[in-house]
Structure 1
Amino acid sequence: MRYLFEEYTFDTDRRELHRGTDAVSVTPQVFDLLDYLIRNRERVVSKDDLIDAIWNGRSVSDAALTTRLNAARGAIGDSGEEQRFIKTLPRKGFRFVGQVREAQEVASPDPGDTPESAPALPDKPSIAVLPFANMSGDPDQEYFADGMVEEITTALSRFKWLFVIARNSSFTFKGKAVDIKEVGRRLGVRYVLQGAVRNASGKVRITGQLIEAATGAHIWADKFERDMTDIFALQDDVTLAVVTAIRPRLLQAEIALARRRRPEDLTAYDLYLRATQQAVRSTREGLTEALRLLQRAFELDPRFAAAAGLAGACHAENVVRGYAIEPQFERREAVRLMRAALNLDDGDPDTLATAALVSALLVGDCETEIEMSDRSVALNPNSFRTWNCRGWVYKVAGLPEEAIRSFERAVRMSPLDLEQYTALTGMGFALIELRRFDEAVRAGRKAQRQNSSYPGPYRCLASAFAHLGRDAEAHEAAARMLEIDPAFTISAWIARSQLSINAKLMIDGLRKAGLPE
């Protein structure tokens, strides 16, 4: 039997514990303790129950039992203070309170072996990466195809909003004809990624398809062809291309699914997705609606770190955009919510990145912000959000070259991302400070085409055109920006956020463009 809770897989047949794709080392007694608590999760088990089950009734000190419980908690990322999974009930005993799904071991995809009960779908998007078919006709190339799957699975598992089936389960389908709908049902996933590898004449071609398991609909498909030189560099290259291509497709599919659900059926995650779609508009109305949806998400799940982080970012946006009726209140809320998100999960790269950005916009403690943003990209180098936020942090810190490198990485990684216009805008701001005004115009125009209601690109264009002496275009961009943000003044923009720090040329250009002081 396999028990699944959050990102953990507890396999009683193999006596293995995995966090995502990583094996977690536990001693036999600690494994047995977890096994007993999970199997008896519907009730409170006493100290005597545990001693009878784990130590066969032998005399055991309270200290020894406490040591084993602490080790069990540590193995699954829990603690005595937090008690997310193992709860201590004083004078009564202990209970496993985490939400658990059961999955029979998948031995083969033959209908005759179908388990009686398939695992339920988790609340967040879930995916299995099936073994890639080796189409080369060379059995020695099997390791390359398997290595591709291993790399892609590991890269996807770094996105904590995504539930990724461990390699061992996906590989039970290796070498077998599969029905995608059946795979999705048996593994308890909404999406399946499958592919094939063909190697011939010094070149390798990899094809991939992302499929919605329930309907069989293709969400994404592409092919990649590379020279077969450095095999490990090739795996890294294709992994990055695949992961960054399917991430926005997954989010778009999940948002569409959440929009189709009736309001009374929405989960905290559905509400978060709807809020995300509203927040990326960066309008007063969009941010107001996003905060309303996030409040409902908190009511359903008070431990939803990503929702806390997004709410903090929305409050920060209200301050930076000049939408806030009570700016000081919104500043305090932004900082409070970001701290709450970090307290809930300080190991989530997207939460770290968002916290660094909010702090950069509102506080300006550059040393702390840079450390947080660097840590976020180290935890997940495949995330558009981590690189985009890092770019803004370095921009505020007065390091435009490094900011541009981060923005370029974000744009290259996710050309279809809903928030790409923010990275292009940040790139334009940084290019202005380096006097690369023609390039700033190109970045601003791209951002404007992606989101014509966002004022940032017009500020970039107004300043860059003014520095180039293209006054008519500078005045036109300034006028368009004032249509979107009629209350804008240069002094208010300087006062309400840290964006004006290390932005002397940007501000000079805004003045030359005729924007109100």
Structure 2
Amino acid sequence: MAWTFGDFHLDPDGFQLARHGVAVPLEPQVLALLIHLVRHHDRMVSKDEVVEAVWHGRAVSDASISSRIRSVRQALDDDGARQEMIQTVHGRGFRFVAKVTTTMPACVLHGAPTIEPPEQIFGKPSIAILPFRPLGLEPTLAVFAEAIPHEIIEALSRLRWLAVIARGSSFRFREGEADMDMVTKALSARYVLAGIIECRGTGLAVTLELVDAKSRQVLWADRLESQLDEMDELRSRIVAHLVAALETHIPFNEARVAELNKLEDLDAWANYHVGLRHLYRFTTADTEQALTCFERAVASDPTFARAHAGLSFTSFLSAFLRLDPDRPAAVRATRHHAERAMEFDALDPFANFTMGRSFWLTDEPEVAAEWLSRATALNPNYAQGFYASAFTAMLIGDAAATTAALDTSLHLSPLDPLLYGVHGVRAQMLMQLEDYEAAAGWADRAAAQPGAHYLIGMIALVANGLADRHERTGSLGQDIRRRKPDATAADYFTAFPTRDVKSRARIAAELARQGF
């Protein structure tokens, strides 16, 4: 519902006060106080009730209450002398005395509620990073409650797919003074990141919580600790850990919400996120569904760089996994769509990522490495970019670079949808180093990951065969033939065109021994 009084219109759901149709700027606590007074205009509101409603029971002084009441009166052109809007009941509380007219929600008609359709989401997802709530911190350490969120805002601002509420707006909400309703309505954020920073003996602990502002569902939470003399390292860990988590959890949630609506009703961003969700399932049907979503996104917004990059990704999968019988056409499409993505946003890490991977398909790993390096430079916390860099280094035979990039990728995103690839690349590199026992262990871990495709199974087959784990190769071979009846050694070397001649010969011999 909403209320009108005098020249004013107060919308609690929209968290806005307007006068003659023009929004009146108010501090969140002031607006929350006004809403509570108007909602209960038929009675006196006690001071204790004001404290509970605005400060959630936290101890505050009478001066703080008086300050917020004075701000409400100023916004309404009222004052303590006239008290035409807000009347003070001395020593007890306040009463809203202006005549209030209530407007019922539009969904209640003829006395019967109607069922509302699922809420549609439009545009780029947005997030508000709130100052952390300090617990038991000395004044010299309390600065980290704002310093760390500020660094997070700067890091997230590099992401091209996420809108980050400016520090000047989000930092108006301090020390848990505002509840989630107040924050989301005031900032129009789809997601909120809150945190607590507290002393733990000789160190600090930071607890993070990512919340869906609409459903109030906690999508992700974590806790990181550090000694006081390692604060710089803790700050960098928090930023890196968080960016990688958001890359996974927000797109997944965006797709989940969007799928409640009809595909044809979604905007470009919603179609993009649904496409991503299908993309990472790595099946023929899901790749085709992802293609449809990205095509709809491009049709809705022809300059949407990430949608073009998504089309490049689907074409890459068609070529890499041989889902398209016309592989040369899929290779050309991979490059074409990546170029279009770069044309519209050359600074998007995902666009650079897809451009780099297009050079895998043409056996140009040195060129791929340059594009992938650019992707991770644009976003130093881009886990998939580091994974792709590791793959490229593996093709060239640079074991040190492969290991370093894989470790970075795994550190940034331990639950990444491409985790099967991270472990598979490590296994492939270990085979080139002739450490077959370790290769088999990593290959088995890769094959057990969600989304692992038949080529990962072939890596596990070869690694186990070279490690003389013959009891394992039988089941792996059956699974590969079930998933890809026409799989051959040529498929393996097309996907993994490594430069190491000796390891290629050993792998080819093992594949032949297993009937491929």
**Normalized against structure 2, the TM-score is what?**
0.74
CA distance in 2, matches of 1:135, 1:195: 11
Question: How far has the Cα of 1:372 moved from its partner?
Answer: 1.5
Please state if 1:240 is matched with 2:240.
Answer: yes
Report 1:118-137 matches (<5 A).
123-137=123-137
Greater mean deviation of Cα atoms: 317-326 or 394-403: 394-403
Are the equivalent residues in 2 in contact too, given 1:357–1:392 (CA < 8 A)? Answer: no
Question: How far has the Cα of 1:135 moved from its partner?
Answer: 1.0
CA distance in 1, matches of 2:339, 2:129: 35
Q: Which residue of 2 aligns with 1:155?
A: 155
CA distance in 1, matches of 2:358, 2:514: 26
Are the equivalent residues in 1 in contact too, given 2:357–2:368 (CA < 8 A)? Answer: yes
Question: How far has the Cα of 1:431 moved from its partner?
Answer: 1.9
What secondary structure does 1:211 align onto? Answer: strand
CA distance in 1, matches of 2:421, 2:122: 31
Question: How far has the Cα of 1:288 moved from its partner?
Answer: 1.8
* 1:240 partner letter: A
What are the superposed Cα offsets for residues 383-435 of structure 1, whole Å, 9 maximum, x if unpaired?
22211221222222332331232122212221222222222222221221122
What are the superposed Cα offsets for residues 242-301 of structure 1, whole Å, 9 maximum, x if unpaired?
333343222221121111122232111221122212221222222222212211111111
What are the superposed Cα offsets for residues 151-202 of structure 1, whole Å, 9 maximum, x if unpaired?
2222222221111112121111124611212211211110111111112532
CA distance in 2, matches of 1:412, 1:177: 34
Q: Which residue of 2 aligns with 1:423?
A: 422
Question: How far has the Cα of 1:122 moved from its partner?
Answer: 5.8
* 1:458 partner letter: G
Question: How far has the Cα of 1:108 moved from its partner?
Answer: 3.5
Please state if 1:353 is matched with 2:353.
Answer: yes
Please state if 1:293 is matched with 2:293.
Answer: yes
Greater mean deviation of Cα atoms: 137-146 or 292-301: 137-146
Q: Segments of 4+ in structure 1 off by > 4 A?
A: 102-106, 112-116
Report 1:190-229 matches (<5 A).
190-229=190-229
* 2:509 partner letter: R
What secondary structure does 2:205 align onto? Answer: strand
Q: Which residue of 2 aligns with 1:335?
A: 335
- 1:452–1:195 distance in 2 versus 1, CA, 3 Å: closer
Q: Which residue of 1 aligns with 2:259?
A: 259
Question: How far has the Cα of 1:453 moved from its partner?
Answer: 5.5
CA distance in 2, matches of 1:109, 1:218: 24
Question: How far has the Cα of 1:509 moved from its partner?
Answer: 2.8
What secondary structure does 1:260 align onto? Answer: coil
CA distance in 1, matches of 2:23, 2:328: 50
CA distance in 2, matches of 1:452, 1:242: 23
CA distance in 1, matches of 2:280, 2:359: 19
CA distance in 2, matches of 1:504, 1:145: 55
Question: How far has the Cα of 1:136 moved from its partner?
Answer: 2.1
What are the superposed Cα offsets for residues 114-146 of structure 1, whole Å, 9 maximum, x if unpaired?
999xxx986122101100011124222221221
Question: How far has the Cα of 1:113 moved from its partner?
Answer: 7.4
Q: Which residue of 1 aligns with 2:62?
A: none
- 1:188–1:176 distance in 2 versus 1, CA, 3 Å: same
Q: Which residue of 2 aligns with 1:143?
A: 143
Are the equivalent residues in 2 in contact too, given 1:489–1:515 (CA < 8 A)? Answer: no
What secondary structure does 2:172 align onto? Answer: helix
Aligned-CA RMSD value? 2.6
Q: Which residue of 2 aligns with 1:473?
A: 472
Are the equivalent residues in 2 in contact too, given 1:350–1:385 (CA < 8 A)? Answer: no
- 1:313–1:214 distance in 2 versus 1, CA, 3 Å: closer
Q: Which residue of 2 aligns with 1:369?
A: 368
Q: Which residue of 2 aligns with 1:165?
A: 165
- 1:208–1:452 distance in 2 versus 1, CA, 3 Å: closer
What secondary structure does 1:450 align onto? Answer: coil
CA distance in 1, matches of 2:281, 2:413: 18
CA distance in 2, matches of 1:434, 1:105: 65
How many pairs are equivalent?
A: 411
Question: How far has the Cα of 1:343 moved from its partner?
Answer: 1.1
Q: Which residue of 1 aligns with 2:52?
A: none
CA distance in 2, matches of 1:449, 1:154: 37
Question: How far has the Cα of 1:149 moved from its partner?
Answer: 0.7
What secondary structure does 1:229 align onto? Answer: helix
Are the equivalent residues in 2 in contact too, given 1:432–1:506 (CA < 8 A)? Answer: no
Are the equivalent residues in 2 in contact too, given 1:126–1:163 (CA < 8 A)? Answer: yes
Q: Which residue of 2 aligns with 1:314?
A: 314
- 1:113–1:386 distance in 2 versus 1, CA, 3 Å: farther
Are the equivalent residues in 2 in contact too, given 1:129–1:194 (CA < 8 A)? Answer: yes
* 1:256 partner letter: R
Q: Which residue of 2 aligns with 1:485?
A: 484
Q: Which residue of 2 aligns with 1:400?
A: 399
What secondary structure does 2:497 align onto? Answer: helix
What secondary structure does 1:197 align onto? Answer: strand
CA distance in 1, matches of 2:301, 2:452: 33
Please state if 1:412 is matched with 2:411.
Answer: yes
CA distance in 2, matches of 1:363, 1:185: 50
CA distance in 2, matches of 1:409, 1:395: 15
CA distance in 2, matches of 1:284, 1:176: 48
Report 1:427-466 matches (<5 A).
427-451=426-450, 454-466=453-465
CA distance in 1, matches of 2:309, 2:440: 32
* 1:467 partner letter: L
CA distance in 1, matches of 2:187, 2:232: 29
Are the equivalent residues in 1 in contact too, given 2:128–2:170 (CA < 8 A)? Answer: yes
Q: Which residue of 1 aligns with 2:510?
A: 512
CA distance in 1, matches of 2:434, 2:128: 47
What secondary structure does 2:259 align onto? Answer: helix
CA distance in 1, matches of 2:216, 2:354: 35
CA distance in 1, matches of 2:171, 2:451: 46
* 2:461 partner letter: A
- 1:269–1:504 distance in 2 versus 1, CA, 3 Å: farther
CA distance in 2, matches of 1:417, 1:452: 11
What secondary structure does 2:423 align onto? Answer: helix
Aligned identity (percent) is: 23
Report 1:80-99 matches (<5 A).
none
Are the equivalent residues in 1 in contact too, given 2:271–2:294 (CA < 8 A)? Answer: yes
* 1:133 partner letter: R
CA distance in 2, matches of 1:500, 1:460: 13
CA distance in 2, matches of 1:146, 1:281: 39
* 1:378 partner letter: A
- 1:479–1:372 distance in 2 versus 1, CA, 3 Å: same
